[in-house]
Copies of this chain bind each other. A is one copy, B any other.
Amino acid sequence: MDTRKHVEVCFTPGEYAYYKNEFEIVVVIDVLRATSAICAAFDNGINSIIPVPTVEEAWDYKQKGFLAGAERKGQIVEGFDFGNSPYSYMNPEFKGKDVVLSTTNGTKSIDVAKDAEIVVIGSFLNLDYLVNWLKNQDKNILCLCSGWQDKFNLEDTICAGAICDALINSGNFISDEDSSIAAKYLYQSAKDNYFGYLKSSSHRRRLKNLNLNEDIKYCLTPNQTNVIPILKDGKLVKL
C-alpha cells in the first residue's frame, strides 16, 4: 500500500471547492504581497493578525481602535495607514500588537480555507522552514494560490511548485493533479531566477507601475524568516 501523502496545488480560491475535501492542511499563498507581508510581520514580532475578507470589516475594527490595514488593486485603501507591503510591518509600533488586515486576494483565500483542519501561511520568505515542518505532519496538503481577482497567477504557482517539489523529493509525498504537475514544472524552470522569470508576469508589471519594485524583490527572496503563521480561532498567530 502506498502510504505517501498528497501535496497538491489549487490555482485560485474559486476552484478550492473542487479540491478541499481531501486535505487536512491548507497552505495559503499570496506571494505579491499578502502572505509575504504576514510572514514579515510575525518575523518582526507582531502578536496576531486578524484577516478579514472585506474593507468594511477592516474599517469597523479600525473604529474600535485596532491597527487595521487594507489593500485593493495593489494600493492602500483610502483612510487606512497601511496595506500589504512587507516593509510596513517592520515598524516597531507593530511589535506585540494585534493587527487587522484585508487584501485583494490573500485574505480572501484565508477566508475560503478557514474550515480546514489546519491553515498555515506560505511565501518564499518562510519556504524551507515551512517545508520542513510540513514534512513531519504526515497529512495531505493543499497549496492554495490566491491568484489575481479569481484568475491564475504565476508567482503563487511557482511558490506552490517549490513546496511540492521539496516534499516530493523527501520521498513521503506524491502529486496527482495536473495543476500540481504544472506548478512543479513552472517552479523548475523559474528557480534559478525568480525575478527574471516573473518579469513578464501581470502582477509584477502592475506593482512595478506602482513603484513597488523593492517590495517585489523582497517577496521573491527565499528563506528570510523562520516563522509559520497559523490560523487559530479566526486569528493568525505564530506557530
A residues at B contact (CB < 8 Å): 11-12, 14-15, 18-19, 148-154, 157, 176-179, 181-182, 185-186, 189, 200-203
Interface of chain A: mostly helix, strand, loop or mixed: helix
CA distance A50 to B71 in the complex (A): 47
| A83–B182 alpha-carbon span in the complex (Å) | 28
* Cβ-defined contact, B15 with A151, below 8 A: yes
A200's nearest neighbour on chain B, judged by CB, is B181
What is the chain B residue whose CB lies nearest that of A155?
B178
Give min CB distance, A22 to chain B, whole Å.
Answer: 12
Copies, count: 2
Q: How far is the CA of A14 from the CA of B153 in the complex (A)?
A: 16
Q: Are A150 and B202 in contact (CB under 8 A)?
A: no
Q: Which residues of B contact A176 (CB under 8 A)?
A: 202
CB contact between A179 and one of B14, B152, B178 (< 8 Å): that residue: B152
Q: Give the Cβ gap from A197 to chain B, nearest Cβ, in Å.
A: 9
Chain A to chain B: the 5 pairs with minimum beta-carbon distance, closest first: A154-B178, A152-B179, A153-B178, A178-B202, A178-B201
Task: Show 17 residue pairs from A and B whose CB-CB distance is below 8 angstroms, ordered by the A residue.
Answer: A11-B152, A12-B15, A14-B14, A15-B151, A19-B151, A148-B178, A151-B177, A151-B178, A151-B179, A152-B178, A152-B179, A153-B178, A157-B178, A177-B202, A181-B200, A182-B182, A189-B189
